[in-house]
Structure 1
Amino acid sequence: MVDKSEKIVWLARLGYAVRGLVYLLLGYLALSSTGQDNVRRGTTGALEYIRSIPGGTAILTISALGLIGYAVYKLIVGLFDTENIGSDAKGLAKRAAYVVSAVVYGALSWTAIQLAQGTRQSSGNQNQELAATALTFDLGPAAVGLAGVALLIGAGAQAKSAYDRSFMRHISSDAPPATCWIGRIGLATRAIVFLLMGWSLLRSAWFASSGEVRSLGQAMLDLREMGLGFSIIAAGIALFGVFSLITARYRIIPDPDPKLNMRSPLRRA
């Protein structure tokens, strides 16, 4: 009999696989002459593309399930520190990022459900819509600015991880030999795109204009004038998708049950 903890672990792995599919599609669509509109809407656009293919509704339903599991797992890690991140300033910041990630992927799961049910139609930049709503409040610009800072910090963390290969600590030694280089290229590319997204949020907060905000896809498309550079970025995003698919199979995931995890030898290591 499979207990709840094991179910969450398998759902988390499915979530990594869905993340891989989304990024792989974004990279592919960015390189395709017919996929620009989907790319402009970022991760939501990738899900909308899935809906348009045969069997898309079933794939979206499975994707929503995986994204929920991924969000729940991230939330547990952030709140209960099941990966032994620590409670110092650096650890708390990283755990807070896990909680934010849980919220983001939980929202993406809801989007997948709506698309599967046909209750959501194609939309514009969801990030711009959220920023526009936030800017209507007194503390809205500050909140948008903090989100921008968080993305810049996330970009720095991914760049550091790509440089020192620290992400491999979470990957099983059974993973394919090319995993390290695929991960380094993918993380470095994602860091560049996150840097552009974070900067756009800071500009939005400063000018109090949601029009400055860039989705993941828009940040990529802003680099089109680079020519070959844009193609490299798109390919790098696709490689991050490949890395996520590998992660779905080979990531070392401690038991998400805080009580069981405290007794685990892995926890004490």
Structure 2
Amino acid sequence: MVDKSEKFNWLVRTGFAARGITYLLLGYIALSTRGDAKGGGSAVYDYIQEVPFGTPILWVMTIGLLAYVAFRLMCAISDLQHRGTDPTGIMKRIGDAASAVAHMFLAYACFQFATGEKRSSEGDSSGQEMAGSILQMEIGWIVIIVVGIGFLVGAFMQAKTGFTAHFMHRISSRAPNIAKPIGRAGHFARAVVFLLIGWSMVRGAWAEKEERVVGLGEAILSLRDTGLIFTLVAIGLIMFGIFSLFTARYRIIPDFGPEGLKPHFRA
């Protein structure tokens, strides 16, 4: 019989793998088209949709991304990774929440392609659609600003993590040595993208205009006129995708103890 810990383990690893495939293809498409892809992040799922067994793959990725979202939300809310309640720990948990929101956008777009509701020719508007729905609420603009600030904090934490390589503390020693430099480059690239998303959310909410809010793919495409920066970010995202696949294999997954959400890490 498979216990809760093993199910949780597989869900988290599937989530990291889905994240890896998304970032790997996102960086590859951006780099190969030099920013001419109209669909932005959605071009990834349109690309998968056209390969053999594309729709089942999209469904698996949707489930995987949702599992990753749940994992990050648990990290933010219940302190699943024991980050603590000091200022540094709170900032890391805010970064976890921002990551959950970013990947919720990706999961939503992936779901639309899995069900055949959307193609890349319709544009990468998932983030704008969700932002528009939230802005219709009475305090929606406040929610968007708070989430935007979360992305800005997440950008800072991604850059800090890239510099310190602290992410290796949760990677098994059996992982290839190349995982560390690849992970560093990937985190720096992700910091740039989170910065762009966060700023767009704060600016869009302040003006109450959802069209100013950008998703992951749109944030990358906004750099296409920057030349070298665009190329470096695209390469960095490819590396982050590769690192995510390493993580899916070598991540030290927290094991649930008798108390539930508080885990005991496996050696």
Q: Is 206-215 or 235-244 further displaced after alignment?
A: 206-215
Q: How many angstroms does 1:219 deviate by?
A: 1.5
Q: Distance in 1 between matches of 2:2 and 2:202?
A: 46
- Structure 1 residue aligned with 2:134: 134
Residue 211 of structure 1 and its aligned partner are, at CA, apart by 2.2
Task: Indicate how the Cα distance of structure 1 residues 54 and 227 shifts in structure 2: closer, same or farther if over 3 A, else same.
Answer: same
Find out whether 1:30 has 2:30 as its counterpart. yes
Secondary structure of 2:255's aligned partner: coil
Aligned pair in 2 of structure 1 residues 99, 206: CA closer, same or farther (>3 Å)?
A: closer
Mapped partners of 2:206, 2:61: distance in 1:
36
Say whether the 8 Å CA contact 1:29–1:38 is kept in structure 2: no
Residue 70 (structure 1) shift: 2.3
CA contact (8 A) 2:105 2:126 kept: no
SS at match of 1:200: helix
CA contact (8 A) 2:78 2:261 kept: no
What is the aligned partner in structure 1 of residue 69 from structure 2?
71
Residue 153 (structure 2) aligns with: 153
Structure 2-normalised TM-score?
Answer: 0.87
Deviations 1:66-105 (A, max 9, x none): 2233233334333433322223454345335435544654
**Counterpart position of 2:217:** 217
Report if the CA contact (8 A) 1:31-1:231 is conserved: yes
> 1:160 deviation in Å?
0.5
In the alignment, the residues of structure 1 paired with residue 68 and residue 143 of structure 2 have an alpha-carbon distance, to the nearest angstrom, of 25
| TM-score, scaled to structure 1 | 0.86
The answer for the alignment partner of 2:52 in structure 1 is 54
Distance of 1:62 and 1:206 partners within structure 2: 37
Q: Provide the C-alpha distance between the structure 1 equivalents of 2:16 and 2:181, rounded to a whole number of angstroms.
A: 18
Instruction: Using the TM superposition, give the Cα deviation of residue 138 of structure 1 relative to its aligned residue in structure 2, in angstroms.
Output: 3.2
Counterpart residue identity of residue 94, structure 1: K
2:254 matched to which residue of 1? 254
Structure 2 residue 99 is matched with structure 1 residue 91:
no
Could you list the runs of 5+ residues in structure 1 that have no partner in the other structure?
Answer: none
User: In the alignment, does 2:79 pair up with 1:81?
Assistant: yes
Alignment CA distance shift 1:100-1:156 (3 Å): closer
CA spacing shift, 1:102–1:77, aligned 2, 3 Å? same
- CA, structure 1 residues 147+90, in 2 after alignment: closer, same or farther (shift >3 Å)? same
State the SS of the aligned residue for 1:83. coil
User: Could you tell me which residue of structure 2 aligns to residue 184 of structure 1?
Assistant: 184
Partner AA of 1:147 in structure 2 = V
Structure 2's unaligned 5+ residue stretches are none
Q: How many pairs are equivalent? A: 264
State the alpha-carbon separation in 2 of the partners of residues 263 and 252 from structure 1.
12
How far apart are 1:32 and its partner, in Å? 2.1
CA distance in 2, matches of 1:144, 1:45: 25
CA distance in 2, matches of 1:89, 1:190: 22
User: Aligned in 2, Cα 1:162/1:50: closer, same or farther, shift over 3 Å?
Assistant: same
State how 1:163-202 maps to structure 2 within 5 Å: 163-202=163-202
Q: Is the 8 A contact 1:82 1:258 kept in 2?
A: no
Q: 1:117 aligns with which of 115, 119, 122?
A: 115
Q: How far apart, CA to CA, are the structure 2 residues paired with 1:199 and 1:262?
A: 34
The whole-number CA distance in structure 2 between the counterparts of 1:197 and 1:100 is 10
Task: Specify the code of the residue in structure 1 equivalent to 2:222.
Answer: D
The aligned amino acid for 1:68 is: L
Counterpart of 2:239, as a letter, is L
Identity %: 43
Deviation at 1:2, TM superposition (A): 1.9
Q: CA deviation at 1:174?
A: 1.1
RMSD over aligned CA atoms reads 2.6
* Residue range with higher mean Cα deviation, 196-205 or 21-30: 196-205
